[in-house]
Structure formats: C-alpha cells, structure tokens
Structure 1
Amino acid sequence: MRIVIINLMFFCFFEQLVCQSKSPYIDIANELLVRKKLSSKLPDVFDDVKFAEVVSKLDNIAQIKPTSQIDHLNITNPEFHWCYSQTYLLAGKPVESLDHYRQYKIQVHSNNSIHPLFNNPINELELALEKQQADLAYAIYFIINNFKSMTSPPENIQIIDLQIKLNVYNELAITPIFISEDGIIGPQTKSAIYDFEENNPYFVTESEIENSNLKGIEIASLPHSIRPVSALKEVSNLENKTDFTGIPHNNSIELSTNIILDEA
C-alpha cells in the first residue's frame, strides 16, 4: 500500500513537471523579459510591429479571435494574462496592462501547474494594483459610513453598488468570499461589511471619510468577476498616479491608479 501511495505521489509530481515544462507561453515570456531589459537602452526594441506580432502569437496559442479587451480578459489562464500584462506594459499601455495583471492575480491562486517563471510578480504592476485596491477600499468606506448616517434605509441600487464593490475588492483574496448582489442588507452583506471594516489594511480613518467629497462612485458589474479598467470610467477626484519608470516608449501613457468605474 505504501509503495502504491509513493508511486501515485511521484506520478502527480511528474505530471506537474511535464505541465510546467510544456507551457506554450514560456518562449514568449522569455522574449518579453529580454526586451524589457533592453528597453532602457533601446527604446524601439518593442515597436508597433513587434507588439502586433506578440499579440498575434498569444491569441493563436489561446485559440481566440478577439474583437475587444473583454474577449481577452475572459480567458482563464494566468500565464496568458501574465504575458499580456508584460506586452501592454512594454507597449506603453498601462491601463490594459493592469486589467490583465488583475486577472493574473485572481487566477494564479487556483492554478498549481503553471511554469515557475509565471510565479514572478511584475513589480510595476504590483504597486499599481495595490493603489487600485486602496482607492477601492476608500470608496467602500465612504459608502458604508454614508449608509450609517442616513435617516432612511438606502435604496436597493445603492446597496447593490456596495455589494459589487465588496465583491471586486475581495476577488484578489487567496480564498475570496462573494456575496449576492441582490440589493438587500442581509446576513451575507452584514458579514462582508464587518469583515471589511475589521480586516482591510488601508486604515481609512473616520476624519478622512468625513472630509472626503467623494460622490457618485460606480463600478463595473461584469460576468466572471472581470473588472476591465480600460473599459470603465475614472473616479475624477482620486488623483494619485503611478510612474512606470525604466520602461521607455513613445507617446507614453501615464498610469492612472484611480478606481475605474462602469457607466452602465
């Protein structure tokens, strides 16, 4: 019996190694890393032609013919999103890059068979994602405290807005817990609010909330927990920016780390 268990463990380990070594994205990932290193001395190392070439390769591997950013974000493969994050970053498209990096971070927790290369974080996007979460935490705190100060119960649409934001905020957790977006402050939502107030790491103080003029915040409600930053509207009064240093490119686009929200 012990021999059988050992053989089974060896087989599982071998199967995982085979999956990792056969990653179809590894060659593209290595090329992206090399070009990223060269970009400080060779600004044209990743021009429009190379960008189109890499995008075509990634889409061919994923066997998709996308017509929008949503089609890309619907792919369930952290290696795919890691490569697209690097691709858009090199191309000077930080908003799209962050879209994919968020999907990568969501999916990588539940995938144990990826190549070790894809376990390496992208430092520029780690900072941007952290600031995005901080902005979202601030928005959630504002809504919760606004509810507490109301003389009448909040409307269903206001509650749904809060529930959506809580779900988006929690989707990056290692074991995320999602609540129904039903417009009712029931046990699920009360528990989520309590957990958020007790455990969020951003330490928004009561005075900061009271002095805020944050208004009319909306966020995307899209299927499969996908929140594409590039397709949404910015929160205008959250003005912190992240500078992608060391990635020179033409017509650079400064990354907005504001929470980007859906107009729908």
Structure 2
Amino acid sequence: MSAVNGCVAFITGAASGLGKATLKHLLTKGARGVYCFDTQAFPEEVEKRDNFAAYRGDVRSEENVSAALEECYKKFGKIDTVVNCAGVSVAFRLFNFKKNRAHDLKDFADVFQVNCLGTFNVNRLAAGYLYKNTPDEANGLRGLIINTSGNAAFDGQIGQVAYSAAAGAINSMTLPLARDLGVVGIRCLTISCGYFKTPLLAHLPKNILDFLENSTLCPKRLGEPTDYARLVEAIMDNEYLNATVIKLDGGMRMFL
C-alpha cells in the first residue's frame, strides 16, 4: 500500500503548476486530506471535496503560514507530509549594458524571499506539527518535508542570478535541515527541477521552448507537472530516501 493512502499533505504553491499536480495526484491516490496554500485561488475542480481545504496566503508571512498549518491540523487531525512548491522567478542580467541598467535589487530580494525565505518559513513552522505524529514502529518516522529548487543552482544561465542564488540556497539547506529533523524521525529532501510546463514558462516563445526540449537527453520533452507529482509519491513510499537533492530534469544540461 502506498504511503499516500491515508496521509495528510500540506502543499504550498498548490493552486497551479507543480503544486496543483501534486495536490490532484495525492487526492487520486487516497490521501486523507490535502491542504492548498497559495496566494492564488485554489483549483475549482477539487473545491467541494471533503478531503480538501485551502488558505490564501504568503509563504513569507509567519502569520499566514501559522494560521494555515493550524487550520490544516484541526481539520484533518494531523500533518504527515509538507511539499513546498511556491516559487517565483525573474530573468535579468546583472547589468544591462545596452540600457545602462543594473539588476533591480527588489527583484532579487523578492525571488530570494519567496523561494528561499518562504521555504525556510514553512519548514520551521511545520516541523512542530510533524513532531506531533506518533513515530511508526518499524523506523521511528514521524513525517516528511519535500522542498523544491531548480537546476539553475547547478547550470544557471544568463539572466538567472536571482533564481540561481535562491535555488542554491534551498539545496544547501537540505542536509542541515535533515540533520536537525532526523533526530525526531522527520525526513527532508529537495527536488531540483529542470524546465517544466508550468506558468513560470508561459511567457517564453516557442523557439525557446523547442531549444529547452532539445537540451534534454531523454526523453526529449519538457517536464510535465505529473512527473513531479509521481516523484513526490515515490519519496513518500521510499522511507530510506533522506537528506539529498534529487534532480528531475530528463538529463538536461544547460549552456549559455
């Protein structure tokens, strides 16, 4: 039986993209409850389900995240898994010499705060709820946190300074988070994504998308949000996975 069956998952960025696909996948696989946390409206197709709830809020806000976690816990009685998919991006060179314009400091701060600080904020506040779970008899496990970064941390392209910095920071947090939480039976991993068919890529022209598809080794396509969702399930099922960054990218390696 899959670990998804009967679980309660708290998912940030769950109104679209990777988070939405994960939400729908876990509901299909028998989750007891799935909680959507996002600044956007939640998916209408699951709105009326008894095992679904949502909160409109910002991952950077201690008040918002605390309120959502408490509401999730009261509604479903526990939180087993936390999946952080909330993220934003900006594309701009450090300095645009043609326009004589430096990278906007606020743009960098916004990306870093949403992606990195937001991930940390959810992690620190969710840990106490995971700790409330009774450890399983076999391995003493209480829960799981899955964070999301991007391959720009390894192969950051021109214009990706902000996104690369935030992704690298999330990757770097993975091991110390796992060490901090492992003493009480909570696992922590990060999924580093290549290019996926999500709203973050919606603005790119077709020739750029075709180039990105050709940059993958096999299969020759962009990632589907369902690829991410199925990896979340696999991590939930395989309790020996911990303290690592898993690249989900079709073997993509980026150039300038």
Q: Tell me, yes or no, whether TM beats 0.5.
A: no
- The structure with higher relative contact order (CA 8 Å, sep 6+) is 1
- Which structure's CA Rg is the greater one? 1
Larger fraction in strand: 2
TM-score (norm 1): 0.28
